[in-house]
Amino acid sequence: MTRFSLRAALVSALLVTTAAAAAAARIPSPSEFLGMSVGADRTVADYRQILAYFKALDAASPRVEVFVLGKTTLGEDLFLAAVSSEANLANRKRLQEIARKIADPRGLTDAEAEALVREGKVFLFITCNIHSTEIGASQMAMEWAHALATAEDAETRRRLDEVVLLLLPSINPDGQIMETEWYRKNLGTRYEGGRMPWLYHHYVGHDDNRDWFMLTQQETRVVSRAVYHEWLPQVWLDEHQMGATGPRIFMPPYSEPVDPDIHPLVWRDVNLIGANMALRLEQAGKSGAIYGYVFDAYWPGGTKNTAWWKNISGLLTEVASARFATPVRIEPSELSGGGKGLVEYGTQTNFPNPWPGGTWRLRDIMDYERIASDAILETCAERRADFLKNALARARAAIATYGAEDAFRIPADQRDAAGAARLAALLAEHGVELRAAPNGDVYVPLAQPYGRFVNELLTPQRYPETKLVPGKDIVRPYDVSAWTLPLMMGVSAERAPLPAALVAWKAVAAPLPLDGAAFALAPGSPESARLVNAGLRGGAVRVARTVVSAGGREWPAGTFFLDGAAAKAAAGKAQPGQSWTVVGALPPDAEPLRPPRVGIYKPWTASMDEGWTRFVLEQYGFEPKTLENKSVRAGSLAAAFDAIVLPDLPKEVIATGKPKRDEGAMRYSPDLPPEYAGGLEKEGAAALKDFVEKGGTLVALSSSTEYLIDELALPVRNAVARSSDLAIAGSILRAEVAPGHPVTYGLPSEVAVFQDEALAFDTVLPGPEMERRVLATYPAAPADVLLSGWMRGPEAIARKAAAVAITCGKGRVVLIGFRAQHRAQTPGTFPFVFNALYWSTAR
């Protein structure tokens, strides 16, 4: 190099450095930009501030690009920030195409696949703060993105060159805003850092992480679409927080059990990443990291869990919580294990350096999360080619698991054709490829990348009874143990060979005929309720209480009849697969139906089942009104309501508002402000009694049946409450349906019911003022009870009643002992609830 050119090189190097430094200087830190000290005690940025900051980063840095994925339930912009090298972001479309081909390598030669592995980048998807009280990661995300956008060191540049980070600072923005508002409002009071009296998602609260195979909520659908239709990441990390008195951070390896149908390379990737997280935390002097603890690898309801069956390496971190952004001090003697993988708090091979106790604050949470996040980015960069190769191998193995002929058939012609169409649409939403036969039957070929996922959701679960030591005790499931969609949706889908001559599937709702004076609509599909409820608001609807004739044929009890005006109002709500039959006129011997005026009881304990019930009833057009303690206690309920639904709640919560002590509570929960204290108390119980005496209908779901049994002295008792042999973990059971009752109209003789607790009824002969009718019964043979999932001691529940209807004078009580609308995942049993609501207006 000549003297001159050396000088030129020095000058240009200096210019580059100065330019980079200047650019970095122009990019403000989150604290500078927001004018607050991010991560300080009692300081939180809300979601709108976070979005504003990321937009500023996008504007200032070529390494950050913000994508708004869609709207939340309450109308916020749900966004993802792509963080990577400038070159990768400029080349985004090509990199996405490579990710898509790696996720679906059908038709690729080995040479083409190898070329893609060489060219591709790891797509690392990181979701934060799905649980809104777990606030740390939403704050950490800003600092991390700022660091990545401004770093000039070779190592960071290399990582951003190998990896496209897809960072979602919060996937429940509505809840993030609610919780930060609640926290700020109560700062400095005795309620600081305490729980909110309502759900942190408009409908589902903490269950927003239980929706990932059913995709019922807006946020789930928006994020799921980004993952499985747009970005196709190979690695997904979901960042959570856990209780305050145990380990400081959990990272994989997961605890037992593991689902045998997930490709082992998922766990090999995941464990490698987890090991590096633990290493980097230890090097940084952060104690209390644990693996093989509490969180298992079995159930597909959570964010990244569903992804395991779709060949993605999904990881979870759980960091100990503070009291939201308020520090907590944990005495050494308060530290506890108690979970699977750490029975007593102390040194173990999976927990070599227990945290000694002390003060724990938001900044600690963010520091642990940041180290774990940097570690996963590091491993993804280090192992770029391996992770792409592994993703490719998993997709290929999934496709090769089945033969070209292997398929499921969802027949078009079945009892609930609309439900069948809904199942097909759900699979398509998941990114599953469907085919259609000329007769409308849907075929799901299994030899496709998501073939194992399809098989998992369409067949019964048999829980792996893993034992950690010899003996009787098995490892219990973390959440539910069954998710067999055809059973839960009440539709049929069976293995059948894939025929030739199929076409691509498309969801089409055939327009319903409107040229007639009246239309007969079969009951039994939950989808019928959408049409009936819309019809009731536009015209006349009748329901057959006995067999009636119309249009030259007989119609069974339960059939709905809509006149022309009602049909016109309803037709726009028709779902694919739905149909009605033109009949001459409304049959005079069918009973006029009026829209049931429905109330849902809502305690101040942020009941997720209350939210799910409200969601389901709103979706199907029931327009329910919320009844708080105060409004129930005020009485005169019969003037305003035909039916009142009590969601699944412990009887103590309904009576007193005191939640049962939360084992392993997520964080400390001081009392609620006085306006949210208490339950129905004596006045509320009296008001419900008065409601029934005046002709109202009470519908109690699952646990709340016990409240009504006690308060109304019903001729029913929980037959299995004290049965020590019976254990059920969110399983699907068989129940036989008693036909002919208004609550069982249209239901098949046998239904699959979702059950998650020891609850089944004995009835007794009541006095003359009441009549009871068993609506559904568990089978007499214990071996017939379980359809999917795990249970012990079916003998205890055999031949017991699953649901009971009681008439008391003009009033009615419906006790549904199973989870009829559990997480909106059980449409097959929605009709129990919907029929009970229609029954409330019967003469």
Q: Which is nearer to Zn ion, 240 or 452 (CB)?
A: 240
Whole-angstrom distance, CA of residue 298 vs CA of residue 317: 16
Q: How far is the CB of 806 from Zn ion (least distance, A)?
A: 40
| Minimum CB distance to Zn ion smaller for 42 or for 240 | 240
Q: Which region among 126-134, 328-336, 619-627, 710-718 touches Zn ion (by CB under 5 A)? A: 126-134
CB of 666 to Zn ion, least distance (A): 8
Structure tokens at 687: 């008001």
Measured from the CB of residue 175, what is the shortest distance to Zn ion in angstroms? 11
The rounded distance, in Å, linking the Cα atoms of 281 and 224 is 31
Closer to Zn ion by Cβ: residue 239 or 563: 239
- Please, what is the minimum distance in Å from the beta carbon of residue 302 to Zn ion? 9
Residue 47 or 450: the one with the smaller Cβ distance to Zn ion is: 47
- Tell me if residue 258 falls in helix, strand or coil: strand
Lookup result for tokens 């001159």: 4
Kindly state the helix (H) or strand (E) to which residue 774 belongs, with its residue range.
strand 770-777
Min. distance of Cβ 240 from Zn ion in angstroms?
3
Provide the β-strand partners of residue 66: 81
Interacting span for Zn ion (CB under 5 A) from 129-137, 402-410, 483-491, 773-781: 129-137
Q: Smallest gap, in angstroms, from Cβ of residue 347 to Zn ion?
A: 26
Compute the least distance from the CB of residue 319 to Zn ion, in Å: 10
Residue nearer to Zn ion on the CB measure, 240 or 409: 240
Residue whose CB is less far from Zn ion, 216 or 303? 303
Q: Which H helix or E strand runs over 583?
A: strand 581-583
210 interacts with Zn ion by CB under 5 A: no
Q: Which CB atom, from 134 or from 756, has the smaller least distance to Zn ion?
A: 134
- In the complex, minimum distance from the CB of residue 127 to Zn ion, in angstroms, rounded to a whole number: 11
Question: For Zn ion, how many residues bind (rule: CB under 5 A)?
Answer: 3
Shortest distance, position 766 Cβ to Zn ion, whole Å: 45
Decide: is 240 part of the binding site for Zn ion (CB under 5 A): yes
**Considering only residues 358-397, where is the footprint of Zn ion by CB under 5 A?**
none
Indicate the residue among 162 and 238 with the shorter CB distance to Zn ion: 238
Q: Would you say 208 or 367 has its CB closer to Zn ion? A: 208
DSSP for residue 552: T
Give min distance, CB of 134 to Zn ion, in A: 5
Q: Which stretch binds Zn ion (CB under 5 A): 240-248, 288-296, 380-388, 685-693?
A: 240-248
Which of 699, 517, 513, 684 has the alpha carbon at shortest distance from 622? 699
Applying CB under 5 A, which part among 131-139, 212-220, 743-751, 775-783 lies near Zn ion? 131-139
The residue (of 431 and 730) whose beta carbon lies closer to Zn ion is 730
Q: Which is nearer to Zn ion, 240 or 286 (CB)?
A: 240
Dist CA 60 CA 596 (whole Å): 56
The candidate with the shortest Cα–Cα distance to 690, out of 618, 612, 633, is 633
How far is C-alpha 754 from the chain's CA centre? 16
Site for Zn ion, residues 133 to 192, rule: CB under 5 A? 134
Q: Which stretch binds Zn ion (CB under 5 A): 12-20, 235-243, 279-287, 546-554?
A: 235-243
Pair 458, 213: CB distance under 8 Å: no
Report the site for Zn ion in 442-501 (rule: CB under 5 A): none
Q: What is the 3-state secondary structure (H, E, C) of 126-147?
A: EEECCCCCCCHHHHHHHHHHHH
Complex with Zn ion: residue 134 or 757, whichever CB lies closer: 134
Residue number, 121 or 210, with CB nearest to Zn ion: 210
| Selected range binding Zn ion among 21-29, 234-242, 332-340, 484-492, rule: CB under 5 A | 234-242
794: Cα separation from own chain's centroid: 28
How far is the C-alpha of 56 from the C-alpha of 81, rounded, in Å? 12
Which region among 182-190, 238-246, 541-549, 778-786 touches Zn ion (by CB under 5 A)?
A: 238-246
d(CA 654, CA 601): 9
Interaxial angle between packed helices 362-382 and 136-150, expressed in degrees from 0 to 180 and rounded to the nearest 10: 50
Nearer to Zn ion, 134 or 736 (CB): 134
Q: In the complex, what is the shortest distance from the CB of residue 667 to Zn ion, in angstroms, rounded to a whole number?
A: 11
User: Considering only 125-133, 465-473, 732-740, 795-803, which stretch makes contact with Zn ion by CB under 5 A?
Assistant: 125-133
Considering the complex, what minimum distance in angstroms separates the CB of residue 579 from Zn ion? 43
CB of 137 to Zn ion, least distance (A): 10
Rounded Cα distance, 818 and 109, in Å: 51
Question: Which of 282/479 has CB closer to Zn ion?
Answer: 479
Name the minimum Å distance from CB 225 to Zn ion.
Answer: 22
- C-alpha span between 670 and 822 (Å, rounded): 29
The piece of 130-138, 193-201, 274-282, 536-544 that touches Zn ion (CB under 5 A) is 130-138
Give me the DSSP letters along 603-666: -SS--HHHHHHHHHHHHTT---EEE-HHHHHT--GGGT-SEEEE-S--HHHHHH--PPPPTT-S
Contact set for Zn ion, span 48-87 (CB under 5 A): none
Query: Count of CB atoms within 10 A of residue 732's CB?
Result: 25
Q: How many residues does the chain have?
A: 843
Computed over its alpha carbons, how large is the radius of gyration of the chain? Answer: 29
**What is the C-alpha separation between 629 and 613, in angstroms, rounded?**
17
DSSP 160-195: HHHEEEEEES-S-HHHHHHHHHHHHHHTTSTTTT--
Beta-strand ranges (E) seen in 235-394 are 235-242, 249-250, 255-258, 289-290, 296-297, 313-320, 328-330, 358-360
Q: Which stretch binds Zn ion (CB under 5 A): 90-98, 121-129, 233-241, 361-369?
A: 233-241
In the bound state with Zn ion, the residue whose beta carbon lies nearer, of 134 and 367, is 134
Contacting Zn ion (CB under 5 A), which of 63, 131, 201, 409? Answer: 131
Cβ 765 to Zn ion shortest distance, Å:
48
3-class secondary structure, 246: coil
- Residue pair 523/559 in contact (Cβ under 8 Å)? The answer is yes
Which range in 237-245, 594-602, 621-629, 783-791 contacts Zn ion by CB under 5 A?
Answer: 237-245
201 near Zn ion, judged by CB under 5 A = no
CB of 704 to Zn ion, least distance (A): 26
Asked if 355 contacts 287 with a C-beta cutoff of 8 angstroms, the reply is yes
| CA pair distance 526, 831, nearest whole angstrom | 6
Given the rule CB under 5 A, which residues bind Zn ion?
131, 134, 240
